[in-house]
Amino acid sequence: MSSAAGTVAGVPGDDSGFERIRAVADAILYEGYLLYPYRKSSPKNRVRWQFGVLAPRAWAERVGPVAESVAGSVESWRQHTECLVETRADPAGVVLRARVRYLQLQAKRVERRTADGGHEPVESLEYGGRPHLTFDEAVPREHDLVVTLAEILGGGRVFDVGAPGATDTEPLGDRGRVLRWRWPVAATATLAAERLDAPVPAFRLSLTTANTGSSAGPDTPRPEVLRHSLIAAHTLLRGEGLRFPSLIDPPAWAGSHARRCRNVHTFPVLAGDDAGPGTGTGMLSSPILLYDDPRVAPESPGDLHDAAEIDEILSLRTLTLTEDEKREARATDPRAAEILDRVHGMPEEVLARLHGAVRSLRPDPTVPREPTTNATDEGET
């Protein structure tokens, strides 16, 4: 059974309860997108798109099937998520919401106007007091899949989660133009569920996101393959009338079922409100290994596209860029310009918060403490 799924390009739509997870999910979506010093000329930004790349199968398996145990930094043609669902209602009344997210590559090419009225590609062109650079960008895509649990029991339901191709033109007066290309991405997401033999009403849920395209063969260069790939692919899950047991630290009844869950190039963790010991209201299936309930630190003022680095160090280093370096970074990508604006406009107290934080000085109430002796007890002075 095939169904269409809604697509949101560039502007997020209804969060449908996913707002609690969005900050972490956005960090995954743009992890490594553009690294400090945020310039096109930096060697670190010459090989990009390192996580959650789902390429056409013929290319991904050009030297044989990709080992399922390899993490999401490998380029594969699919991600397969399995997790557990505990329900409090009949499956027909349990609504499951899945959101498939990824980046679609967008090639930006700057062209200079020639004497004969034509155009020729160039690496850089000055117009309007600033440079325009040829560089690859990306467009975020979101597909929301909504089903009842009863609909996917005993057989999968297939959704189209691809993205169309298009070309946009931005004129640069009589100097030239900027062309932006997006190539079609063919992809599906398959949702299925099976009932478990458990002391509570429970099911194993599976979601497979696959690149179904055939536009790239084994000998196609990687930069061309990426045009037809899902980049930084990941999935959000939540529902109504259900909760998700942790696969890392499951409740006692779910331990054996959690161990039998098979996850390929992705790692599902609890992400949402707490729903009781070892359970939550949502799941985040990420190509980057995370722990349950991942969160962006409240001190962090915004994404720097490098979660393995320290915000304070990156912010201070960004402040040291020369004017020429800042000019190139702004021309490289709008997200680089956004980082520069945010860092340079950061109040001193916000920067100071990045230096360190104390979460709590109170003892954990779940840890028993040794009794203490009051120095003013009877018999003591």
| pLDDT single digits (tens) 92-108 | 889 999 999 999 999 99
* Weakest-pLDDT range from 40-54, 104-118, 203-217: 40-54
Residue 356 has pLDDT above 60, yes or no: yes
Average pLDDT over residues 133-154: 95
Distance CA 363, CA 118 (A): 71
Burial class (CB in 10 A: 0-12, 13-18, 19+), 139: middle
R_g of the chain, CA atoms, integer Å: 24
* Weakest-pLDDT range from 66-75, 136-145, 207-216: 66-75
What is the reported pLDDT for 106?
97
In the chain, what are the domain boundaries?
A: 2-299
What is the reported pLDDT for 360?
61
CA 40 to chain centre: 22
CA 131 to chain centre: 30
Between residues 292 and 71, the one the model is more confident about: 292
Measure the CA dihedral 105/107/108/114, to 10°. Answer: -170
Average pLDDT over residues 135-142: 97
Give residue 302's pLDDT band: very low, low, confident or very high (50, 70, 90): confident
| pLDDT single digits (tens) 60-96 | 999 888 888 777 677 999 999 999 999 987 888 899 9
CA angle 228, 234, 235 (to 5 degrees): 125
Residue 200 has pLDDT above 90, yes or no: yes
What is the reported pLDDT for 3?
54
What is the reported pLDDT for 353?
74
- What angle separates helix 334-344 from helix 311-319, to the nearest 10 degrees? 90
Between residues 191 and 295, the one the model is more confident about: 191
Distance CA 323, CA 328 (A): 9
Amino acid at 155: G
What is the reported pLDDT for 12?
42
Structure pTM?
A: 0.86
* Weakest-pLDDT range from 132-146, 206-220, 359-373: 359-373
